[in-house]
């Protein structure tokens, strides 16, 4: 809860410190474009220009979400004891999507405004130094940049820490034999998986950068796609057994 509040304060600070009117106009325009073109963008394969965008980004992020699906689903199930399925699904889909939208609407449009106004060559920085440098350079154009960047760093660290904590917890719980539903996996087991999942992406990045990480994500997500169909069928079967039709 603390990190969510801190993230919202960070977004409000960026919104007020940058070109607020431009960001609000672009936010409304972007949402309208999204709702108007969702169907077309969903089936867009770029067959004429073949720029590689679909494979490098659209397919990659779909694979990324699929790869994250198992441990996120198990972790959310673990912490949602006592809630209904409807509450969990609506909370994950609605609130999660709104959070992502807010970050894109504020930070994405802030970078776009800097590029269009000529105040900062965001595209050039991304091509020469990468996305991390572009993020810091964009925030550095704001008043009280040091404070805003500091808050951003704290938010990023906490989000990464909670992600790794949930992933290591889920992996440890899955790999522990005879673990009761009310019990937690051993701490040493969670530490082992936390270290393991931290070393893997670092190794991939040193091996060749983002391309290798994207390839690994695609390889992992492909078999999980079929597993999700089986999981969905098993869920419906379990619900039917627990609550048979009357």
Start-to-end Cα distance in the chain: 41
pTM, rounded to two decimals = 0.78
pLDDT at 137: 93
Confidence of residue 68 (pLDDT cuts 50, 70, 90): confident
pLDDT for residue 174 is more than 60: yes
pLDDT grade for 209, boundaries at 50, 70 and 90: low
Q: What is the pLDDT of residue 246?
A: 52
Q: What does the DSSP assignment read for 107-160?
A: IIHHHHHHHHHTS--HHHHHHHH-HHHHHHHHHTTSTTHHHHHHHHHHHHHHHH
Q: What percent of the chain is modeled with pLDDT above 70?
A: 95
10 exposure class (CB count in 10 Å sphere: 0-12, 13-18, 19+): buried
Residue 166's nearest CA partner among 74, 64, 61 is: 74
Q: What is the pLDDT of residue 42?
A: 86
**pLDDT digit string, tens, across residues 113-137:** 999 999 999 999 988 887 888 999 9
């Amino acid at each position: 809860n603390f990190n969510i509040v801190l993230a919202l304060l960070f977004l409000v600070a960026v919104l007020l410190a940058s070109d607020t009117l431009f960001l609000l106009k672009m936010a409304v325009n972007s949402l309208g474009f999204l709702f108007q073109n969702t169907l077309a963008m969903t089936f867009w394969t770029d067959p004429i220009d073949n720029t590689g965008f679909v494979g490098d980004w659209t397919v990659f992020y779909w694979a990324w979400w699929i790869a994250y699906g198992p441990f996120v689903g198990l972790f959310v199930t673990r912490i949602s004891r006592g809630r209904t399925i409807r509450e969990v699904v609506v909370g994950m889909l609605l609130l999660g999507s709104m959070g992502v939208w807010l970050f894109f609407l504020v930070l994405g449009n802030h970078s776009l405004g800097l590029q269009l106004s000529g105040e900062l060559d965001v595209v050039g920085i991304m091509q020469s130094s990468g996305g991390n440098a572009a993020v810091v350079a964009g925030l550095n154009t704001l008043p009280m940049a040091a404070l805003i960047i500091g808050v951003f760093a704290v938010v990023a660290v906490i989000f990464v820490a909670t992600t790794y904590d949930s992933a290591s917890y889920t992996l440890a719980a899955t790999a522990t034999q005879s673990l009761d539903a009310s019990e937690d996996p051993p701490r040493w087991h969670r530490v082992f998986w936390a270290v393991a999942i931290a070393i893997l992406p670092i190794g991939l990045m040193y091996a060749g950068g983002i391309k290798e990480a994207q390839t690994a994500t695609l390889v992992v997500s492909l078999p999980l796609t079929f597993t999700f169909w089986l999981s969905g069928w098993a869920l419906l079967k379990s619900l039917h057994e627990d609550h048979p039709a009357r």
